[in-house]
Structure 1
Amino acid sequence: MLKEFREFAMKGNVVDLAVGVIIGAAFGSIVTSLVGDVIMPIIGAVTGGLDFSNHFIPLSKAVTATNLVDAKKQGAVLAYGSFLTLTINFIIVAFVLFLVIRAMNTLKRKEEAAPAAPLKPSAEVELLTEIRDLLKK
């Protein structure tokens, strides 16, 4: 059973998948930082510091707090602001990923479109070409 597991774990697909997951997690952290630390502050500055995260609707009369954390402690709330913030973050992350994949596809197409160096014909082919040309005369 141990031998079977080792063979399974060392297959190329499993190792490739593991590498992909690790790189994906690292890339996810980079994109999350880009959105949270670079793009969202710019959006906040442009919109005058608008922050949706503390917008909520109390679902019980006992909720009197003005921020979401305290309101959740007091009772049920509909935290639509958190949902809006996460939705905006998702759209930005999806757009950044779209740009990255688009750039990678463009590079891949350029590689495929690059013409290959012409192959030098072998000596036999050159000789046969010369014979053909002589016979045509």
Structure 2
Amino acid sequence: MLEEFKKFALRGNVVDLAVGVIIGAAFGAIVNSLVQDVIMPIIGAITGGLDFSNYYIPLSSKVQAGMPYAEAKKVGAVIGYGQFLTLAVNFTIIAFVLFMVIRAMNGLKSKEEAKPKPEAEVPADVKLLAEIRDLLAARREA
């Protein structure tokens, strides 16, 4: 059973998938920082200093207006649409970057497929056999 697991775990696809997941998680953190620390502050500055992370709709009478979102969540039920907007921007950026990467890979792939493949050189023994065949055929005709 241990040998089977080792075979499974060390197959190329499983290792590639694991590397992809790890890189994806790191990439997600970078995009999250880009959105939180760069894009959302710019959007906030354009809209007059709005902080989207603290936008919510209180669903409980215990939540008082003006409370920070994190504190409001502790007090009662709230709908945090500011967080949703931030995550939607994150998703859009990740989807766009992945689209561009896949598009570039497809472009490289199509260029590679468009290249004419060099014809395989005929081995010497095959050439010799072809010559013998041709000589025998010419001999029969004569």
Please give the range of the TM-score, normalised by the shorter of the 2 chains: 0.5 to 0.7
Gaps of 5+ in 1: 129-137
Once residues 63 and 109 of structure 2 are traced to their aligned partners in structure 1, the CA distance between those partners, rounded to angstroms, is 56
Deviation at 1:25, TM superposition (A): 2.7
Deviations, residues 19-38 of structure 1 (Å, cap 9, x unaligned)? 33233333333433444444
Corresponding letter in the other structure for 1:17: L
Per the alignment, residue 136 of structure 2 pairs with: none
Once the two structures are aligned, what percentage of the paired residues are identical?
69
Alignment partner of 1:64: what SS? coil
Gaps of 5+ in 2: 132-142
Query: Are 2:33 and 1:20 equivalent residues in the alignment?
Result: no
Corresponding letter in the other structure for 1:99: M
Does the 8 Å contact 2:57/2:81 carry over to 1?
yes
Per the alignment, residue 11 of structure 2 pairs with: 11
Aligned runs of 1:52-91 on 2, under 5 Å? 52-66=52-66, 67-91=68-92
* TM-score with structure 1 setting the length: 0.67
Does the 8 Å contact 2:55/2:80 carry over to 1?
yes
- How large is the Cα RMSD of the aligned pairs? 3.0
Does the 8 Å contact 1:62/1:74 carry over to 2?
yes
Deviations, residues 64-111 of structure 1 (Å, cap 9, x unaligned)? 141212222322222222112211221222112212211221122222
Alignment partner of 1:21: what SS? helix
Corresponding letter in the other structure for 2:88: T
Aligned runs of 1:1-137 on 2, under 5 Å? 1-66=1-66, 67-116=68-117, 118-119=118-119
Larger radius of gyration between Structure 1 and Structure 2? 2
